[in-house]
Structure 1
Amino acid sequence: MESITNPEIIAIIATDNDGVICRFNQGAETLLGYSAAEMIGLKKVASFLKKEEFKNFKSDILSRYQDKNPNVDPYRLLTLNDGYDAREWTIVKKDRTTFIAHSTLSPLKSESGESMGYIRIIRDITNQKTIETELLRKNQVLHYAEKITMMGNWQWDTITNAVTWSSNLYNIFEVDPNQELYFDTYFSFVHPDDKEVVTLSIAESIKDKNFYDLLHRIISTSGKTKTIQLLGEVITDNEGNVIEIIGTCQDVTEQRMAENKFRGLLESAPDAMVIVNEHGKIQLTNKQTEILFGYPSKELLGKPVEFLIPKRYNTKHTTHREKFFNTPKARKMGEGKELYGINKQGKEIPIQISLSPFKTEEGLLVSAAIRDITIQKKAEKKLIKTKENLEILANRLKAKNTQLADFAHITSHNLRAPVSNLNSLLEFYKTAETEEEKTLLFEKFEIVINHLTETLNTLIEALKTKNEGSKELETIPFDEILNKTKEILSGQILKTDTIITSDFSKNPKINYNRVYLESIFLNLLSNAMKYKSEDRTPEILIQSAIEDGVQKIWFKDNGLGINLERHGHKIFGLNKVFHRHPDAKGVGLFITKVQIESMGGEISVESEVNVGSTFNINFNA
């Protein structure tokens, strides 16, 4: 007995006939957190078992030995019958935490065969149960994934000829899961017209040790014809002998039907339709494409779409195509531009193209609807030109009206408050009875007048900006402005350890008002450092680019961020602040917006609290 009661990993606990613990090894101390002194002669095993589990145990033992006495001790009953029990228990440790254990219960007898109690051996299987649970969960996820994708997996041991199917593969073939499987079982379902192709493909896969993907038909147990996508992998031993082939079968019947419907719709389209993949390769065309360009479909498949475009456009088109696939959205091409296709005879055709991206299992594709616009091209050019001129004038007028309305609102709002305050103070001054009261009111007069003066100066500066913004333009490198700004803010940069990075490679310079550009950089960089997060090193990224002919620049920081739902409508307003900071006055963003708009541009912001902000500027929107 003593020789087996001191392992460190396994808890071994012995009791007398009354269930009182008489042996408690080191492993038990480690697992349960009790010392042997706390347990031996003082406690019963039930003290660290869950009551509900003990009830189930008692019920099982009484049922096993057909004892109907509810007051019987299940341990004594087990011992008297020289019984044995093994099951999982939830063990409650001294610190009231629990673990899952596998526990065996055996009678403990003397050399003469008399009952001395029982011995319980406990092993912590918490990790094992966690792994089992995770494996079960993953199997359930896999089964669910196979079910929703109509896919099943299979294994074929080429040495023993043993075949294994996943449960969903039985469903696809409509086979009883209890049916014994052989290598030929699969072939018995293959459509008669496809058997030769499938047989040759499998034979070549074994010969070449490389599985060739295959699309073929089967006839299920119920007589349904289904289209199956067969994928696999050949596994070899160290000597290169094929020992196993594993793979998947996917029921793509509905997919193939959808493809046929899609092709039918494609053929019924009035325009030439060309389907292109992400690499610019033509995947599908319709009859109208053959009529327009003179190429049969088989001559175009796999060709780059630039094959249908005059060579002088090829380089530019490739760039536009790559850019389109980076941010795909339905749009038209050719409006207001000279866009031409070229047919098999080398004749150029003025065309209009509508692009519609759509996702498939093979990746992103784009449908290009191509229309010959030879007849209406001249008339349309005149119409487009007139329309563009009207739109430009309308946009300018709208922008001016908006700026005027905004300025009027800001002016009335920011002047009304201090003037009203002065009137109130004047009323108090008239009724003041002591010199102390008048002195105090004079101090408040000074504060309000200073604030009013600052507001008037800001509004005057804004008016000057609106009227003189487009004057004194020059070509300015962004790097030059950034370096000057960093020199001005060098103390603040050192104090905050701010990291400033920039990338002006896509648009290194701009024709702009130098004073305004310096002011924009200074305001946005100083704001980013002023409202930095205390939890991380401040980082500011500045990037420029030209998109669709518009010069752009972004200022991105990782600071406090702004709640746009609460403050988005007033973020560029005068004297609007959104964080507590001693230097916050709410003037910088107001002036920045006025300067940018006076030059015909626009500014917007994207922000998330505790993440940071990005200010987006379109210089010539």
Structure 2
Amino acid sequence: MQTLSITSLIKDSPSAVAILDTQLRFAGNSRVWLNDFCPDHESILGKNYFDVIPHTPEKLKSILCECLENGSRNLSEGEKFIFPSGKIQWLKWKINAWTNSDEEIGGLIVLLEDVTKTKRLEELYQKAERVARIGGWEVDMTTNFIYWTDITKDIHEVPRDFKPDLETGINFYKKGEHREKITNLITNAIADGTPWDTELIIVTKKGNEVWVRAKGEVEFLDGKCVRLFGTFQDIDEKKKTELKFLEATQRLEIATRGANVGIWDFDIVNNQLFWDDNMYLLYGIDKKDFNGVYEAWQSGLHPGDKIRGEKEIAMAISGEKEFDTEFRVVWPNGETRYIKATAVTQRNADGKAIKMTGTNWDITELKNTQMMLSKSQESFFGAFENSDTGMAIVSINGKWIKVNQSLCSSLGYKEKELLKLTFQQITHPEDLQNDIELLNQTIAGEIPSYRMGKRYFHKDGSIIHGILTVTAVRNINGKILHFISQVTDITPQIENEKKLTRLVDITSEQNESLLNFAHIVSHNLRSHSSNLAMLTKFLVKEESDEERQNLLGMLSGASDSLNETILHLNEVVQVKVGALEKMKSINLYDSIKNVKKNLNLIIQEKNAVCEINIPKNLMVSAIPAYLDSIVLNLLSNGIKYSSPDRKPLIQISSEVNEENIILSFKDNGLGIDLNKHREKLFGMYKTFHRNKDAKGIGLFITKNQIEAMSGKIEVESTVGVGSTFKLHFKKPLT
């Protein structure tokens, strides 16, 4: 084949044709090719195909190269390509290799066509069919051949290779009225050419009932029906929605009649007002007495609501807000009724209001109930605010919603402060779990309410004792809305009970003291009396003046000893009498410093070191005289019973826990053998070292004094190492 003859042959071809050589260079092309694929080139002869058309799809490039290499041909009726830029193009081609005179491959003849427009329409049509679920069908009456498109088969839920016939197609329609109707329509069409368009139910191959729209037409030849054809659309969802809507509409009509709801339309442009029958019942008027204009509605409004009603209609028309309101109407018999009204405003293309459609219903009973509820709420909140008992409305998550002044006063918070907290935050940890468990039982419906003793933290950190009563408030469906909590402050009673308990304890201890006193009297005073009696007898019998003077001296000493014993016993008895009433808030550091000052001489004599590690602002609740006596006793003991082997060191420190202030006296003295003396350590006239000044009364008095102030004393001691005494004082009330 000669390239020149081919070139001249295809130049005027009506198709896009190009001749390529073995280097894929253009040896010739039609004008159509130039216009369709190379509009920016005047001539492409001698240029490489891919240089001229650089965006050639990779698949087409491969096909061109393969055909040139193998001398083969390739044919495509249309291939879709999506380019990186997003452009979509369909190409149709026919590629053949051509040979020269030596039967060698001389290049390619390429017939290329851009079929994008046609293929796009086909694709859109196919997508539309799939989206709209519209299939086609045809019956050749001369051969009885039936054709169904894929969509039609999909609607019938049959496989793609399914081959229907006329009888099978009709039998897919639901037995009864649906099958009878389609049979009659097809029969009439075959007889007189009448087309049909109907909605029926078919039963698919899988047994599903589906609503379809079946359309059909006929073709006649020489007065004889030769062809039936049409479309088949799945309208199941749409049809079922329509049926549901119809059913809902019918139910709504029944409901509006039963619920006495009126429906109305207002033609704004023509001032025409349309009411259904229920509207006349709501306004208490006869239909014949209503002239169907806006003014007729307005005339039925209560005088106090006329201006507002007009304003809200005007606002709905202007688009400022939707019509959703309540108003009163006055019946012809003078009765006043409350009406709830809502409406939707319709507008034209220019946004102008042309129509309002709405509903009215009688809410008189609801309004009366609301007013009664309002009065009830006013009564409740009046009692709530003025109650002497602490009351609160608490949410399900434990946050205070509302609190009264009594509760604020009991807990020491202002209302705004308390509302920022939850009940969990101010509940004593030991009571919280029990409270939550009872609350959960109430939420679960196991109990309607609960009552418990509970401790709260006052704002100042002190403990408030209360009796808590919690009741759940539920809505009509039984769902808990919130809780009503009542807190009765019983702190004074609890404190009185504690005082009473302490008094009982003191009484018991005093009884023990009296018993101890009786033993001491029995033992010590008997010794003193025997001694006095013996001395007196000797004195009476003695004639020597010198010996009598000696006996008088001994008698005086015995008398002083008896007096000292009686004074000690009196001091013990007096320690706990009226102690609690004398309690004060005392600066601990200052008290210790004062006592230390009084002992400076003995401290210097013993070359002792006294370290005071106590905050200067630490306060304790104590009786001043008792506190001084205790500090004096323990400080002087630390010096008095110091070790001869080392310089005396007394360390005084403090610590604060939740309820108490603990004062510690630690020395490096002789120590006490607690294994031997623990039980009698704080006994009266008990001594543990050979100290001539020891009388065994100091620790006994100290223990009685600290316990009289509701405290306690503890001791740790090791012989040869030293002792530590710990005193527990109550925190002062702030």
- The bucket for the TM-score relative to the shorter chain is 0.3 to 0.5
Structure ranking higher on relative contact order (CA contacts 8 Å, 6+ apart): 1
Q: TM-score, normalised by structure 2?
A: 0.33
